[in-house]
Amino acid sequence: MSSKVTELQTATQVNNSPTRGTLFVVSSPSGGGKGTLVRGVLEVVENLSYSVSYTTRGPRANEVNGREYFFVDVPAFEEMVAGGEFLEWACVHGNFYGTSKQQIAEKTAAGIDMILEVDVQGAASVRKLLMDSVSVFILPPSFAVLKERLCARGTDTPESLAVRLRNAPNELDQYSAFDYVIINDKVERAVRQLASIIYAERARCVRQEGLVRRVIEEFRSVDDRG
């Protein structure tokens, strides 16, 4: 497996301002259920947008280009890498995946929070940028549950399934580098927990400085003190 953080000046600037959107980075082993949690949270949390990654993996039966991923071939991906178009990219289970710098920059500049679904390498890369990101690790409750979910999904070849299960323990080992861990045993509860993390992080003083200052200034400017 390999990963790379590209030149990130634009993206670094993006998250240094408290008036800009925040990046919420969600990782888990393949089959850990992060897709379901992310979809659930996008339904209930306002002002949150999903970062659609680029991948060289082929689309699964139910996947739509531009919705789950932008599906590209290896030369096109390499061209994007060379052009510095990725915030981060990694080779995961034998395919390339990358987060679009432009999507992140546009949305966060508009004050919209972004949710990124990336592997543990991608999460480490984003952390290294010293950006004001929040990372959440989704832990499947047991190996049996993970295997069952991957099998039930029915989208992996036996080889791909074996690779994903083999890589899982090493991915789990990375949990302590994250800000939060959610044990994904009950989907509804896990969605509520992820939404709570987002709301709590939004309420941090540092992220509300601009807004709070405006309110305080308004208080100071009022003549009528009774």
Q: Which is nearer to ligand 5GP, 29 or 207 (CB)?
A: 29
Q: Which stretch binds ligand 5GP (CB under 6 A): 7-15, 42-50, 94-102, 204-212?
A: 94-102
Q: Using the rule CB under 6 A, is 98 a contact of ligand 5GP?
A: yes
Q: Using the rule CB under 6 A, is 97 a contact of ligand 5GP?
A: yes
Q: Using the rule CB under 6 A, is 121 a contact of ligand 5GP?
A: yes
| Distance from the Cα of residue 119 to its chain's centroid | 9
Q: Using the rule CB under 6 A, is 56 a contact of ligand 5GP?
A: no
| Distance from the Cα of residue 35 to its chain's centroid | 10
Q: What is the DSSP letter of 174?
A: G
Q: Which stretch binds ligand 5GP (CB under 6 A): 6-14, 16-24, 97-105, 203-211?
A: 97-105
CB of 124 to ligand 5GP, least distance (A): 9
**Tokens at 57, concatenated:** 């993996």
Q: Strand pairing partners for 55?
A: 71, 97
Q: Which is nearer to ligand 5GP, 153 or 192 (CB)?
A: 153
Q: Which residues contact 24 (CB under 8 A, 6 or more apart)?
A: 48, 113, 114, 115, 116, 133, 134, 135, 136, 197, 198, 201
